[in-house]
Amino acid sequence: MKLGEGVEAAIHCAAMLAGVDGAATLPGAAMAEAFGLSPSYLLKHLNALTASGILESVPGPSGGYRLARPAERITLLDIVLAVEGREPAFRCAEIRQRGPAKLNASVYAKPCGINVAMLKAERAYRAALADAWLSDIVAEYTADADSRSVAANCAFVERHRRPQKSSSTKQA
């Protein structure tokens, strides 16, 4: 089982954007620089977050990205599904219905128990991700991480933030 590398990038960007106040934005290129990623690679994932309503993008040369809602209302599950898609990790191909012993379709009306068990585990995974709030991750980082890291990240955001005229939609 493997999650795409974009998940790490997407969560880090969302966490960084949680530190941008009001309607201001950060350019995608700045976030790519912060995490040593290619801007075009990151753009794909920022677009996925925008399409899922987690980020808003402000177009134009002085535009950028901001959270579309407060970090208190964004979970890691929201981000993982935005980047990876909503399909379950285990994709039952109904191989029980293949082969020469295949019977009438009515025989397979009940779902395969293997699929049922795999989906139960996936629900446990998603429940844990749905309980991991972006706001908590940011708060724990600010409280617990090395103060030099926190200071450097705040300075980076301050240096790259772009004030916007439009009012923020990040009202709780």
Q: Which residues bind its own copies (CB under 8 A)?
A: 1-3, 5, 7-9, 11-12, 15, 33-37, 76, 80, 84, 87, 89-93, 95-96, 98-101, 103-104, 106-110, 113-114, 117-118, 120-129, 132, 137, 140-141, 144-146, 148-149, 152-153, 155-156
Q: Which is nearer to its own copies, 54 or 76 (CB)?
A: 76
In the complex with its own copies, the residue whose CB is nearer, 135 or 168, is: 135
CB of 94 to its own copies, least distance (A): 9
Q: Which CB sits closer to its own copies, 51 or 127?
A: 127
**CA–CA gap between residue 130 and residue 137 (Å, rounded):** 13
Buried b (16+ CB within 10 A) or exposed e, 54-66: bbbbbeeeeebbb
Smaller CB separation from its own copies, 98 or 165: 98
Dihedral sign for Cα 138, 73, 50, 162, please: negative
